[in-house]
Chains A and B, each alone.
Chain A
Amino acid sequence: EIVLTQSPTTMAASPGEKVTLNCLASSSVSYMNWYQQKSGASPKLWIYGTSNLASGVPNRFSGSGSGTSYSLTISSMEAEDVATYYCLQLSSYPLTFGSGTKLEIK
């Protein structure tokens, strides 16, 4: 089983601050998906295929990485970005999610 370790677990960022969320895989994966989940809502696909923004995602978001190390970056934090972000690997079964990063605003 591929274990995905997300860091940090929780973080708070100021409006306008650059934010980087990390996802480390225990074995190499072909690509990574990221999901945004706001409180009380279903998760939404946010980034797919490592670096492709889902429909409607603001371009202040970006994704990068390869092999075992992936990241989601917000170039300038906004209040609407408050959420928990999860990474997901689809390269091998069992499919696994990271434990999530809870992003708050200062």
Chain B
Amino acid sequence: EVQLVETGGGLVQPGRSLKLSCVASGFTFNNYWMSWTRQAPGKGLEWVASITNSGGSTYYPDSVKGRFTISRDNAQNTLYLQMNSLRSEDTATYYCTRAHFDYWGQGVMVTVSS
């Protein structure tokens, strides 16, 4: 059974940093691209970042480019999202997703507020 478990969320002040983790199980992690997607409270879904299976290439929308970094440790079956210079508009539930968004984690809440 595919499982994606996110951790690392919480309350953080504007301008500060936070790092999310996602531990994957039930599939061969290093065979799949991975992504992060977020959902602001009461709002729709927004793609945040993607990474190739080797980690050699990454992709971001303009809204987070230069502030967020996606990475992975294939030996530990773990996906990361380093979030710097956080803004109030980054407040959302962050989901770890596999490949073409076929499996989603339960999500982790990030609140950016002073």
Contacts and interface: CB of A to CB of B under 8 A. Distances in A.
Interface in A18-65: 33, 35, 42-45, 48, 54
A95 interface: yes
B105 A86 contact: no
B66 to A, nearest CB: 14
B101 A42 contact: no
B36 to A, nearest CB: 11
A70 interface: no
B102 A45 contact: yes
A99 interface: yes
B100 A90 contact: yes
Contacts of A54: 102
Contacts of B113: none
Contacts of B107: 42
B47 A97 contact: yes
Contacts, number: 46
Contacts of B46: 97
Interface string B45-65: 111001000000001111000
Interface of A: 33, 35, 42-45, 48, 54, 86, 88, 90, 93-100
Given A33-B100, A43-B95, A86-B44, 16 more contacts: A35-B101, A42-B95, A43-B45, A45-B103, A48-B100, A48-B102, A90-B100, A93-B59, A93-B61, A94-B47, A94-B62, A95-B35, A95-B47, A96-B47, A97-B47, A100-B44
The 10 closest A-B pairs by CB, nearest first: A94-B61, A95-B47, A97-B45, A42-B104, A99-B44, A45-B102, A100-B44, A93-B59, A43-B104, A86-B45
21 contacts: A33-B100, A33-B101, A35-B101, A42-B104, A42-B105, A42-B107, A43-B95, A45-B103, A48-B102, A54-B102, A86-B45, A90-B101, A93-B59, A93-B61, A94-B61, A95-B35, A95-B47, A95-B61, A98-B44, A99-B44, A100-B44
